[in-house]
Amino acid sequence: MVHKEKNKNYIPFIFYSICLVLVIVLCIYFLGRDTFAIFSKREVDESKEMKIHMLNVGQGDATFIEFPDGMQILIDVGRDRSVVESLSEVMRFNNRFIDMVILTHPDADHVGGLSDLVAFYDIGMIIDRVDDSQDFDSRDVYEKAIGESGAVHIELHDNAIEMNLGDGSQMYFFPNIINAYDYDDLIDDRNEYSVMGKITYRDTSFLWVGDMSHIGERLLVELYRDDPSMLDTDILQIGHHGSKTSSSELFLRATTPKLGLISAGADNNYGHPYKGVLERLYRLGIPHVCTCTDGAVTLASDGEDWWIE
């Protein structure tokens, strides 16, 4: 009798064990590596592709870049919570970590979404060029959000900086062009202090200029007159949402983009993108996409070629 009771107790244990094994096997079968991605922050792309997502954040900028080794960089965060909603469309639901957030300049359409972003995501590093002398709206909100993010805060100064991101990727921050030329007329213009940079993944490249105007563009072209390859790029984020103040012919010829990305709200009040800029792009044979008409746009690069997904 005693012996029989003992065997009976084992039956549910064996049954549940078999069920558990079955569930694990089914998960692995149906979800594959996704099952294990839940336990890891970084998702390695085995296809070795870099992805550039121009997020659709209305009238503003937010560009999310995923590198083959899983590193993720966000350039600007839009004006509001739409950055979180847009990111959730391209990031895995369990992925709540962004390695680096670059804030080009503290205008609302570039940094307004910061509080919402830090509430949802852990951030490794925030890079900006905001010093104590700059005056802008909601500075207290901006600083509070950076403090609450827990990220390492790096304030760029005037010099150019080159960062090796590993796995064939590099990032180059252009110098503070206005201070480099001591251009006093523009000393109070935040757009001209935009953090500009270029990301290369092997033979492909992406360059952004924030809201820099044609004056800064001209200074940049002058600065790299003896080394024009520094400005050469495959993909150019068209400056200042396609505003008439940016994208001079001189700069477009110097950067030689194969594609222009324009981030602007549909039917915005600023008239972005400016018709004259679109005509200039057309005349120079530079195709473009705009969030205002195309919504979010994703580009992929295998290091040799790039394409729109």
Residue 239: which H helix or E strand, with range? Answer: none
How many angstroms separate the CA atoms of 175 and 178, rounded?
9
Q: Which is nearer to Zn ion, 245 or 298 (CB)?
A: 245
Residues 51-110 that bind Zn ion (CB under 5 A): 109
Residue 52 Cβ vs Zn ion, minimum distance, rounded to whole Å: 18
Residue 132 Cβ vs Zn ion, minimum distance, rounded to whole Å: 23
Q: Which is nearer to Zn ion, 77 or 297 (CB)?
A: 77
How would you label 33-61 residue by residue, b for 16+ Cβ within 10 Å and e otherwise? eeeebeeeeebeeeebbbbbbbbbbbbbb
Residue 97 Cβ vs Zn ion, minimum distance, rounded to whole Å: 26
Strand partners, 288: 260
Residue 109 Cβ vs Zn ion, minimum distance, rounded to whole Å: 4
How many angstroms separate the CA atoms of 240 and 247, rounded?
8
Classify residue 6 as exposed, middle or buried by CB count within 10 Å of its CB (0-12, 13-18, 19+): exposed
Residue 148: which H helix or E strand, with range? Answer: helix 139-149
Q: Which is nearer to Zn ion, 116 or 211 (CB)?
A: 211
Question: 97 with 73: CB under 8 angstroms?
Answer: no
Q: Which is nearer to Zn ion, 109 or 116 (CB)?
A: 109
Write out the DSSP string of 270-304: T-PSPHHHHHHHHHTT--EEEHHHH-SEEEEE-SS
Q: Which is nearer to Zn ion, 169 or 191 (CB)?
A: 191
Residues 205-264 that bind Zn ion (CB under 5 A): 211
Residue 236 Cβ vs Zn ion, minimum distance, rounded to whole Å: 16
116 near Zn ion (CB under 5 A) = no
| Number of other CB atoms surrounding residue 280 within 10 Å | 17
Residue 291 Cβ vs Zn ion, minimum distance, rounded to whole Å: 13
Q: Which is nearer to Zn ion, 99 or 107 (CB)?
A: 107
- The site for Zn ion (CB under 5 A) is made up of 109, 211
